[in-house]
Amino acid sequence: GAGVSQTPSNKVTEKGKDVELRCDPISGHTALYWYRQSLGQGLEFLIYFQGNSAPDKSGLPSDRFSAERTGGSVSTLKIQRTERGDSAVYLCASSLTGLDGDTQYFGPGTRLTVL
């Protein structure tokens, strides 16, 4: 596809359930990023992938959060035992190389609501 895509666009779940969010980066982009944006807040960095490796997981809020990337392409962000505080828009971005100065292109986001 031409841009970054994310599914689902909206996810409503109950507290305690697990969720999986998917990101398809721009074809050929080696770097992939996950961010979280709470209402009225800036973007909170979660994790960065270079190829299939995640050299920086420092932004993951707790061990309930995990992510993987396969084939240097699709990435999945998993949240276990969701809490109401996990409600936010989860944004995925990709860039060509991941190097300094590289532009990050964002997907449309997944709006997660935990009831």
**Which chain residues interact with other proteins by CB under 8 A?**
31, 33, 35, 41-43, 45, 48, 50, 56, 91, 95, 98-109
Q: Which is nearer to other proteins, 25 or 107 (CB)?
A: 107
Say if strands 10-13 and 110-114 run parallel, antiparallel, or are unpaired: parallel
State the DSSP code for 74: -
Residue 109 zone, left/alpha/beta (φ > 0; ψ -120 to 50; rest): left
Q: Please report how close the Cβ of residue 101 comes to other proteins at its closest, in angstroms.
A: 4
Say if strands 75-79 and 31-37 run parallel, antiparallel, or are unpaired: unpaired
Taking CB atoms within 8 Å and a gap of at least 24, the contacts of 52-61 are: none
Q: Please report how close the Cβ of residue 28 comes to other proteins at its closest, in angstroms.
A: 16
Q: Please report how close the Cβ of residue 93 comes to other proteins at its closest, in angstroms.
A: 8
Q: Which is nearer to other proteins, 28 or 101 (CB)?
A: 101
Q: Please report how close the Cβ of residue 94 comes to other proteins at its closest, in angstroms.
A: 11
Q: Which is nearer to other proteins, 16 or 45 (CB)?
A: 45
Q: Which is nearer to other proteins, 59 or 80 (CB)?
A: 59
Q: Using CA of residue 41, residue 46, residue 51, residue 56, what is the dihedral sign?
A: positive
